């Protein structure tokens, strides 16, 4: 089953807030609800929120009472603004909405209002289908980097749940496993929202891939002990020089990997590369509600004092000098990233 899909004139999404305790789908009929679902992280992961926003735009087309293509386009422009504002860091969100809007603007004078509605839906479906196909191509390139017997540290969740299906970094691990390579995954739990312990572990269970969960501060220990051969993670935005914004904690993980000479790869579709930004310091970093940090319990009791304050940047930027390579659907990019990244982005 896909994480994000269209069925019976509705957008359906797996509710990722309650996994692994419960598996539930939520149906959406309005683009504003889809934008909220992205902000609340019912759906999360860069490619998955791009696909959700694309279907959200299709819903906006059907919500609109417009009787001309020009009026429909105006309603779509407003929905596009709402959807793009749902989360700031993953460029796939704006990329998906912009791609559909460009097509709608181009076809406005050639399609009647109903055909224009259908066009947006067809474009959203195409984008979702392409995501799966791109992930599988990426996975083939990335799996070639994995050796039989490797232990791999993986950060956040980059699997089928973070995409439409298959996954980015976890997709690479999944393909290597299907190729018969014996691998072991050390799953960073990924504080504060625990995408690793909740979602990645849940996915690895389904695929029958051996794993152990580690808290984020254990990765340096295992690398220094020589127990880790590779590090794989995804990204929410890659700048033109190869700097990578990904889930908070990726930077510290990459520093420890660099210090211990452990090869480290970001796995990203080219839709995650933002060539308009020269370097990673220009990537907008989402700061989320501090309660996501404070709400954790230990032995059934709140961890922090009642009036504690907290900070909650959701992403950090890993400088490209710490990366061994960036895996894309068009091949693995090696340094110098500022030169080579451009060559794979069409």
How many whole angstroms separate alpha carbon 93 and alpha carbon 86? 9
Between residues 3 and 64, which has the closer beta carbon with respect to ligand MRU?
Answer: 3
For residues 261 and 190, give the distance between their C-alpha atoms in angstroms, rounded to a whole number.
22
Burial class of 211 by CB neighbour count within 10 A (0 to 12, 13 to 18, 19+):
buried
Q: Scanning residues 56 to 85, which ones bind ligand MRU (CB under 6 A)?
A: none
Residue nearest to ligand MRU according to CB distances in the complex = 234
- Supply the residues annotated as catalytic: 236
Check binding of 171 to ligand MRU (CB under 6 A): no
Residue 236 touching ligand MRU (CB under 6 A): yes
Closest CB to ligand MRU among 35 and 90? 90
Q: Residue with structure tokens 């279907």?
A: 55
- Judge whether 31 and 101 are in contact, CB under 8 Å: no
The least distance separating ligand MRU from the CB of residue 92, rounded to whole angstroms, comes to: 8
Q: Which of 100, 164, 314, 327 binds ligand MRU (CB under 6 A)?
A: 314
From the CB of 180, what's the least distance to ligand MRU, in Å? 25
Binding status of residue 271 toward ligand MRU by CB under 6 A:
no
Cα 63 to Cα 105, 117, 150: the distances in Å are 18, 10, 50
User: Which of 257, 238, 228, 245 has its CA nearest to residue 324?
Assistant: 257
Q: Of 187, 239, 247, 270, which lies in the binding site for ligand MRU, with binding defined by CB under 6 A?
A: 247
Tell me the number of residues near ligand MRU by CB under 6 A.
Answer: 18
Strand ranges (DSSP E) for 50-134? Answer: none
- Range in contact with ligand MRU (rule: CB under 6 A) among 20-28, 51-59, 117-125, 234-242: 234-242
CA–CA distance, 205 with 184 (Å, rounded to integer): 12
**Residue labelled with tokens 């739990």:** 189
- State which residue, 72 or 97, has the beta carbon closest to ligand MRU: 97
Partner residues linked to 211 by β-bridges: 185
In this chain, which stretch among 7-15, 99-107, 118-126, 231-239 interacts with ligand MRU, using CB under 6 A?
Answer: 231-239
Residue of 5, 47, 237, 332 that binds ligand MRU (CB under 6 A): 47
Interaction between residue 241 and ligand MRU (CB under 6 A): no
Q: Count CB neighbours of 63 within 10 A.
A: 15
User: Which two structure tokens, joined as six digits, stand for 54?
Assistant: 């694309």
Contact call for residues 334 and 345 (beta carbons, < 8 A): no
**How near is the Cβ of 32 to ligand MRU at its closest, in Å?**
20
- Say if residues 298 and 229 touch (Cβ distance below 8 Å): no
> From the list 168, 175, 200, 241, which residue makes contact with ligand MRU (rule: CB under 6 A)?
168
Which residues, numbered 81-140, are part of the site for ligand MRU (CB under 6 A)?
A: 90
- We find the least distance from the C-beta atom of residue 62 to ligand MRU, in angstroms, to be 27
- How distant, in Å, are the alpha carbons of 32, 161, 223, 257 from that of 73? 17, 31, 53, 48
The least CB distance from residue 134 to ligand MRU, in Å, is 11
Per-residue x/- track, 175-214, ligand MRU (CB under 6 A)? --------------------x-------------------
Position among 45, 88, 142, 319 found at the interface with ligand MRU (CB under 6 A): 45
Any bridge partners for residue 6, and if so which?
11
Alpha helices in 145-192 (DSSP H): 169-178
Binding region for ligand MRU (CB under 6 A): 44-47, 90, 156, 158, 162-163, 168, 195, 233-236, 246-247, 314
């Amino acid at each position: 089953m896909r994480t994000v899909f269209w069925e019976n004139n509705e957008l359906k999404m797996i509710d990722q807030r309650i996994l692994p305790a419960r598996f539930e789908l939520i149906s959406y009929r309005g683009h504003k609800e889809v934008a909220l679902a992205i902000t609340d992280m019912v759906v999360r992961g860069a490619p998955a929120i791009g696909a959700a926003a694309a279907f959200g735009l299709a819903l906006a087309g059907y919500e609109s009472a417009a009787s001309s293509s020009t009026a429909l386009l105006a309603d779509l422009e407003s929905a596009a603004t709402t959807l793009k504002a749902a989360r700031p860091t993953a460029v796939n969100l704006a990329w998906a909405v912009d791609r559909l809007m460009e097509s709608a603007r181009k076809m406005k004078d050639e399609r009647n209002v109903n055909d224009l509605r259908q066009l947006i839906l067809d474009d959203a479906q195409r984008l979702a289908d392409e995501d799966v196909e791109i992930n599988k191509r990426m996975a083939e390139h990335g799996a070639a980097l994995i050796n039989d017997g490797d232990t791999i540290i993986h950060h956040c969740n980059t699997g089928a749940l973070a995409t439409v299906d298959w996954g980015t970094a976890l997709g690479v691990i999944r393909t290597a496993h299907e190729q018969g390579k014996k691998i072991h995954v050390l799953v960073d739990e990924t504080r504060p929202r625990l995408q690793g312990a909740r979602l990645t572990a849940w996915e690895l269970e389904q695929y029958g891939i051996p794993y152990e969960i580690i808290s984020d501060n254990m990765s340096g220990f295992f690398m220094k002990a020589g127990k880790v051969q590779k590090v794989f993670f995804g990204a929410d935005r890659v700048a033109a020089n190869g700097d990578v914004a990904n889930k908070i904690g990726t930077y510290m993980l990459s520093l420890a990997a660099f210090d211990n000479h452990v090869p480290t790869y970001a796995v990203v579709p080219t839709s995650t590369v933002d060539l308009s930004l020269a370097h990673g310091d220009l990537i907008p970093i989402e700061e989320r509600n501090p309660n996501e940090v404070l709400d954790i319990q230990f032995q059934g009791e709140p961890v922090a004092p009642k009036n504690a304050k907290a900070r909650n940047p959701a992403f950090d930027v890993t400088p490209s000098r710490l990366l061994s390579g960036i895996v894309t659907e068009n091949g693995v990019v090696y340094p110098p990233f500022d030169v080579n990244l451009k060559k794979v982005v069409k």
